[in-house]
């Protein structure tokens, strides 16, 4: 019988979350609930990759915090772009 290790279980969870994300994208729905789910999936998957595959649990605390800050900012940017896309488009359009 094959025994799966921790890395394999984390990888399988990442695959399941990715397939779930693809399914959500194919539903064609939009709105705040979907944006919140997408942001949560981005944050969860990012933290799993940082902690389990980049092996940052034993790394320098500053580097680990910086990476965790990054995977917190990216989902916030997704929410920001969803909620204020018109404002962001006006601010970033030349002319």
Domain locations in the chain as residue ranges: 6-92
- pLDDT-derived band at 84 (thresholds 50, 70, 90) equals confident
Q: Give the pLDDT confidence score for residue 93 in this predicted structure.
A: 87
The model's pTM? 0.78
DSSP state for residue 44 in the 8-state scheme: H
Give yes or no for a contact between 50 and 14, defined as CB atoms under 8 angstroms apart.
Answer: no
When pLDDT is cut at 50, 70 and 90, the band that residue 24 belongs to is: confident
Model confidence pLDDT, tens digit, residues 33-81: 888 999 999 999 999 999 888 888 888 899 999 999 999 999 999 999 8
SS (H, E, C) 14-32: HHHHHHHHHHHHHCCCCCH
Angle at 50 between CA 24 and CA 76, to 5 degrees: 50
């Amino acid at each position: 019988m094959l025994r799966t290790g921790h890395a394999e279980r984390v990888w399988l969870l990442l695959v399941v979350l990715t397939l779930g994300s693809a399914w959500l994208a194919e539903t064609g729905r939009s709105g705040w609930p979907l944006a919140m789910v997408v942001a949560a999936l981005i944050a969860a998957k990012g933290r799993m990759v940082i902690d389990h595959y980049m092996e940052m649990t034993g790394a320098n605390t500053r580097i680990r915090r910086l990476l965790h800050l990054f995977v917190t900012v990216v989902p916030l940017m997704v929410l920001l772009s969803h909620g204020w896309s018109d404002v962001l488009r006006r601010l970033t359009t030349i002319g």
